[in-house]
Amino acid sequence: MTPFKTVALEHASRLINHGPTVLVTSIDGARRNIMAAAWSMPVEFTPPRIAVVIDKHTFTRELVMASGTFGICVPGASAVDVTYAVGSSSGRDTDKFAEYGIVPIIGPVLGLPLVETNCAAWLECKLIRERHTEDAYDTCFGEVVSAAADPRVFNNGHWLFDASNESLHTLHHLGAGNFARASDMLRAKPLP
Ligand SMILES: Cc1cc2nc3c(=O)[nH]c(=O)nc-3n(C[C@H](O)[C@H](O)[C@H](O)COP(=O)(O)O)c2cc1C
């Protein structure tokens, strides 16, 4: 695994701009957790802010509300099985990190468990309390306070998907455990 490189906060929104399925990580004291989320997006460049839907019945939601923080990890194609697994079981009665052999690193700013193995990037977020959107739409907002990415696939503020880094191409959920992965890049040209 190539060491992750810090991503400048003004570029953090690009890590989820293209709509990858992500892993939401959380910790509150001795309790930690990880779940899959297909519904996340940037909402502000500066300061970098994002939104993610975290259902109120999930254990993740309980930990996020208790700690006021959450992590977002961007899995690569080689993490497809574990992504689906952590999105198909609850961590309320089991530690999914231990169960699925996921070894997290500790986030540098918020101390969140973050996954680098088979992942392309991660972001540490401070929860921005918005009780109405949380209650009505399960939509939680966060301010990104640190971010990093694998430079083989995200460098100098840009994604690069090519044949050399296919295992890190991001995942996009099609439903029922089927995923597409980000593939060939297309460069838009001005119309004649
Ligand atoms: C591919 C995939 C995408 C998902 N996307 C979301 C999502 O955006 N928001 C959400 O609340 N749950 C989503 N889920 C469901 C949660 O991951 C699932 O309820 C999980 O078991 C919650 O775990 P927890 O109780 O340990 O927090 C998704 C599941 C999968 C498999």
Q: Which domains does the chain have, with CATH numbers?
A: 5-181 (2.30.110.10)
CA separation for the pair 126, 141 (Å, rounded): 8
* Residue range 81-116, pLDDT digits in tens: 999 999 999 999 999 999 999 999 999 999 999 999
| Contact (Cβ atoms closer than 8 angstroms) between residue 69 and residue 160 | no
The per-residue pLDDT for 1 is: 62
d(CA 154, CA 140): 26
pLDDT-above-70 percentage for the chain: 99
For the chain, the average pLDDT equals 97
- φ, ψ of residue 162 to 5 degrees: the values are -145, -175
3-class secondary structure for 164-183? HHHHHCEEEEEECCEEEECC
CA of 124 to the centre of ligand 1 (A): 19
Helices and strands: H and E segment counts in the chain: 4, 14
* Cα(117) to centroid(ligand 1), Å: 20
Closest approach atom of ligand 1 to CA 52:
8
Ligand 1 atom nearest 34 alpha carbon: 26
- Residue 184 pLDDT: 84
Alpha carbon nearest to ligand 1 atom 6, residue? 37
Is pLDDT at 2 greater than 80 in this prediction?
no
Cis omega before residue 104 (within 30°)?
no
